[in-house]
Amino acid sequence: MTKSVQSLDESAGVTVDLLTKKVRVDSRADIGKIAAAIDEAGYPVTARSAA
């Protein structure tokens, strides 16, 4: 998942919390593109927000 996000923005910071199923992404990329990249990696995004 980190790779898929960093393929959009290599300087993106990605933190995954398996317990809460939350992924925090700090990036200059568009949230839509980030969600699409994670979706494509096989992990459906069910909610998103600006943190």
Partner 1 sequence: MDGRAVEQNFYISGMTCASCVARVEKALVDLRGVTDASVNLATEKATVRGTASPAEVIAVVDRAGYKATKVEDSSQRRAPARRQGVASWWPVLAAALLTAPLVAPMVAQLFGGDWMLPGWLQLVLATPVQFWLGARFYRAGWKAVRALSGNMDLLVAIGTSAAYGLSVYLLVAQPGHGMPHLYFESSAVVITLVLLGKWLESRAKLQTVEAISALEALRATEAIVRRNGKDFVVPVDEVCEGDLLVVRPGGRVPADGTVVEGCSHLDESLLTGESLPVTKKPGDRVTGGAVNAEGMLVVKATAVGAATMLSQIIKLVEDAQAVKAPIQRLVDRVSAVFVPVVLLISLVTLAGWGLATGDWQQALLNAVAVQVIACPCALGLATPTSIMVGTGVAARHGILIKDAEALETAHALDMVVFDKTGTLTEGKPKVVAIEGASPRRVLELAWAAQQYSDHPLAKAVAEAAIDQHLAPPSAVNACALPGRGVRADLDGVTVYLGNLRLMEELGAAIGALHQAAEIHEDNGRTVSYLAVEAGGQVRVEGLLAFGDRIKASAQSAVARLADMGLTSMMLSGDNKGAARSVAAALGIGHFVAEILPADKAQVVAETMQSGKMVGMVGDGINDAPALAAADVGFAMAGGADVAMHTAGITLMRGDPALVADAIDISHRTYRKIRQNLGWAFIYNAVGIPLAAFGLLNPMLAGAAMALSSVSVVGNALLLRRWEPAEAGKQAMSTHGAATPSLKGAKTTMYELTVEGMSCGHPLAA
Size of the site for partner 1 (CB under 8 A): 34
Subset of residues 1 to 51 that bind partner 1, contact rule: CB under 8 A: 1-4, 9, 11-13, 16, 18, 20-28, 31, 34-35, 38, 41-51
Distance, in Å, from the CA atom of 45 to the CA atom of 38, rounded to the nearest integer, reads: 7
Give the shortest CB-45-to-partner 1 separation in angstroms: 5
HSE toward the beta carbon, residue 11, CA cutoff 13 A: 3
Closest C-alpha among 19, 17, 50, 18 to residue 34 = 50
Q: Which residues bind partner 1 (CB under 8 A)?
A: 1-4, 9, 11-13, 16, 18, 20-28, 31, 34-35, 38, 41-51
